[in-house]
Structure 1
Amino acid sequence: MILEPVDAAYRPTAPGHQSITVLLTSLCRWAQPILRYDMGDSVLWRPDPCPCGDPLPAIKVRGRAADLLSFSRRDGESVRIVPMAFETVTERTPDVDLFQIVQMNPTTLQVRIRPTPGADPDRVWSAVRTEIVGLLTAHQVGHCTVERAHEPPPQAQAANSALASPSRDP
C-alpha cells in the first residue's frame, strides 16, 4: 500500500503541511490493482517521529474535505448534509444509470437523471425524488424543493454520480 498526501494539483505535500486529498495505491489485488485512487481525505504527514516510538512515517487524519451541502430550516437555522448521503440514496434507487444533483440555493436541489435503458423515466424520477425528500425530511429540511431537470447529467463524469453547485456546474 502506498499513501500519497497531495495538494490540489496532485503534487506531494511536504511533512507538516495539510493535504487536500490522499491518493492510495494497492498492488495487493493481482487481477485488479488500485492505482492512485483519490480518497478525498485530508491528512498531515507528521514532521516529527510518532510519539509511540514507531520509526515509520506517521500521519494525522483530518478526514473528508468534501464540501457539505447547507440547507435552510424553516426556523432560519442551517443544516449541513454530506454529499455522500445524496449519492447513497440515489444509487440505491433501481434503474438509475447516471445522475447529477445540483444545489441551486439553500432550499432547492435540481436532479438530472439518466435511467437505465428500457426503464420508465417517470417511475425512476418518482423513486429518486421520494428518496431525496426522505433524506431531507430526516434532516428537518423536508420543505426544500427537489426539481427534475430537463437536461441529462453530463457524460464527462468519470463515476456514475456527481454533486455540484451552480458555480461548478458544467
Structure 2
Amino acid sequence: MHTPLPELVAQLNAYRPAVIIGYTSTIMLLTAEREAGRLTIDPVLVQPAGETMTTADTDRIAAAFGDRTVVRTVYGATECTYLSYSCAECWYHVNSDWAVVEPVDADYRPTPPGQFSHTVLVTNLANRVQPFLRYDLEDSVLLNPDPCRCGSPLPAIRVQGRAGDILTFPGISGDEVRISPLALSTLFDRTPGVELFQIEQTASSALRVRLRLAEGAEPDLVWQSVERELKVLSADNKLARLTIERAQETPEQSPGGKFRTVIPLA
C-alpha cells in the first residue's frame, strides 16, 4: 500500500501471482501499468473490491489483462464483507441468505426495481457478535427488475455509490503521480495518538490534514509524526512538491453522518 508503484510492479512481475485481490483504486493503477507494458503478469483472476466499480472499469481491466484472466468484483462493506459478488453479466448478486439489501429513497421508502435509490439499507443476518439492522450505507443502488441472464436466482443489483478516488499529484519529472487513498489511510492507522483523521487535497500539490487525537496524546508530537510520514510518502513516490497544512478543526462529517477519510481535489 505504501510501496511506490514502480517498485510494486517489479515485485509483482518477480512473484507472478495467480490471483490479484485488492482495492479498486489500486487495481486500476495496476491496470494502467499493464496497458503500458510495465506489468507483465497473467493472473487467472483479478478481483477488485472495496470501492465503486463501473462496467467500463471492469471492461478495461479485462482488456488489459487478456482472455486468460477472469475479472470478478465484490460489493461489500465493513459492516457486511460478504454482501455480494459479481457475475458474468456485471450484476452484483446479494448473498440473501446472509444479508438483506433494501434500496430506498430519501424518505426511506422502497425504491422500485429498475430505478437507482437515494441510499441503501443493509441488514447483516450472519454477524452474531455485532448485528447490523437496516444500516444506511449511503450508496445508490439499482435492483434488477428481471431475472439475471447468468442464471443466478439471487437478487441482482448495480451500484452507483461511493468511490475511493485516486489522488493525482505532479511528479518530479513533469508527469502525473497517482496515489491510492489506501496508501494515505494506512499511514495514519500506524501513527500513535491518532483516533480519527481526514485528509483533503485542496490543490494539485497541497493536503489539509484534520485530526482527532486519542486521550492523552501530545498534539505537536503526533503532528510531527504525521508530517514526517507524509514527507516520506512524497519522496518515495517522487512528487515534485507537497504542501502539508495542519488544520485547526477536527474531521468533518458528511451530511449522512459519516467521516470521509480521504477527499480528492474537487
State whether TM-score is above 0.5. yes
Instruction: Say which is worse superposed, 63-72 or 105-114, in terms of deviation.
Output: 63-72
Q: Tell me how far apart the structure 1 counterparts of residues 167 and 118 of structure 2 sit (CA, whole Å).
A: 19
How many corresponding residue pairs? 166
Gaps (5+ residues) in structure 2? Answer: 1-98
Secondary structure of 2:249's partner? coil
TM-score between both structures, scaled by the size of structure 2? 0.48
1:96 corresponds, among 177, 194, 204, to: 194
Structure 2 counterpart of 1:123? 221
2:133 corresponds, among 35, 38, 45, to: 35
Structure 2 counterpart of 1:152? 249
Amino acid at match of 1:121: P
Normalized per residue, the structure richer in helix is 2
- Given that 2:253 and 2:260 are in contact with CA atoms closer than 8 Å, whether structure 1 keeps it comes out as no
Q: Tell me how far apart the structure 2 counterparts of residues 80 and 58 of structure 1 sit (CA, whole Å).
A: 33
- Given that 1:134 and 1:142 are in contact with CA atoms closer than 8 Å, whether structure 2 keeps it comes out as no
Q: Tell me: higher relative CO, structure 1 or 2? Use CA pairs within 8 A at least 6 residues apart.
A: 1
Instruction: Say which is worse superposed, 46-55 or 92-101, in terms of deviation.
Output: 46-55
Instruction: Say which is worse superposed, 32-41 or 115-124, in terms of deviation.
Output: 32-41
Secondary structure of 2:229's partner? helix
1:112 corresponds, among 196, 210, 215, to: 210
Structure 2 counterpart of 1:162? 261
CA-to-aligned-CA distance 1:117-139 (integer Å, 9 cap, x gap): 22222221122123333334444
Distance 1:19 1:118, change over 3 A: same
Instruction: Say which is worse superposed, 5-14 or 77-86, in terms of deviation.
Output: 5-14
Amino acid at match of 1:111: V
Distance 1:19 1:82, change over 3 A: farther
CA-to-aligned-CA distance 1:89-115 (integer Å, 9 cap, x gap): 212211112322222201010112233
Amino acid at match of 2:262: L
1:50-61 → structure 2 map (5 Å cutoff): 50-60=148-158
Gaps (5+ residues) in structure 1? Answer: none
Structure 2 counterpart of 1:45? 143
Two-structure CA RMSD over aligned residues (Å): 3.7
TM-score between both structures, scaled by the size of structure 1? 0.69
Distance 1:3 1:102, change over 3 A: same
Identity of aligned residues (%): 48
Give the deviation of 1:80 after TM superposition: 3.8
